Amino acid sequence: MATFVLIHGGGGSAWDWHLLVPELTGRGHDVVVPELPIEDSSAGFAEFCETVVNAIGGRGDLVVVAHSYGGFTGPLIADKLPVRLLVLLNPMIPRPGEKPGDWWDNTGYRGPEGLSEQQQFFNGVPADVVARAAAHGRDQVSGEWNEPWPLDAWPRVPTKVLIGREDRFFPADFQRRVAADRLGTAPDEIDGGHALTLSHPKQLADRLTGYLRPAGGG
């Protein structure tokens, strides 16, 4: 049994994972779903790490799954604790010393034009789930946006990048380029958009648990 540590993205909450959690527990795994202190203007990367580490407690066999902006936090946990595997899901992949606010220009990101927020983030998500999403979003006012990412190098932990082929916010070609440039790797791919946890929870759970098998990860 592994412990999946699920780290939400920008403006997110534990709710973002609520469809994936039963898929993982139903396969016999433990799940930890911390909520980062994004509504606290005094919180930064240190406080994010403290929140996640405290939520993990004494659990072991850790698999950290970091979604989108959570890609800045996931590697910090892998640097602090004995993590078995780090999975970056439709991620922002940081470089040492990079401020999150600088990531967009540094990667050459260009946002999609002519799409609503719902079309960018929730394509493929059932309408009833989309209707509930706004009630679970949170204002991100925390201070890490202008804080240099604190690691000097990527943690020495096996790392997978997993992307949604239909992601409109971070298009697949963009994600492939950033993953190659920053980690020297080609992402694994799955059907779905940016909110894979809400659109394809079963398929995502299959892929995540597949990584735990000796021949998994393809």
Contacts of 151 (CB under 8 A, 6+ apart): 75, 76, 79, 96
For residue 215, the model assigns a pLDDT of 54
* Each residue's pLDDT tens digit, 117-129: 999 999 999 999 9
The fraction of the chain above a pLDDT of 70, given in percent, is 98
Please report which confidence band the pLDDT of residue 74 belongs to, taking 50, 70 and 90 as the band edges.
Answer: very high
Q: Name the residue ranges covered by the structural domains of the chain.
A: 3-210
Nearest to 39 by CA among 1, 8, 64: 8
Superfamily grouping for domain 3-210: Alpha/Beta hydrolase fold, catalytic domain (3.40.50.1820)
Confidence of residue 168 (pLDDT cuts 50, 70, 90): very high
Please determine, for residue 210, whether its predicted confidence score (pLDDT) is greater than 90. yes
Q: Is the pLDDT of residue 134 over 60?
A: yes
Q: Of 131, 145, 116, 5, give the one whose Cα is nearest residue 67.
A: 5
pLDDT of 216 = 40
**Maximum Cα–Cα distance across the chain:** 47
Q: What value does the mean pLDDT of the chain take?
A: 96
Burial (CB count within 10 angstroms: exposed 0-12, middle 13-18, buried 19+), residue 138 = middle
The predicted model scores a pTM of 0.96
Q: Which residues pair with 89 in a beta bridge?
A: 67, 162
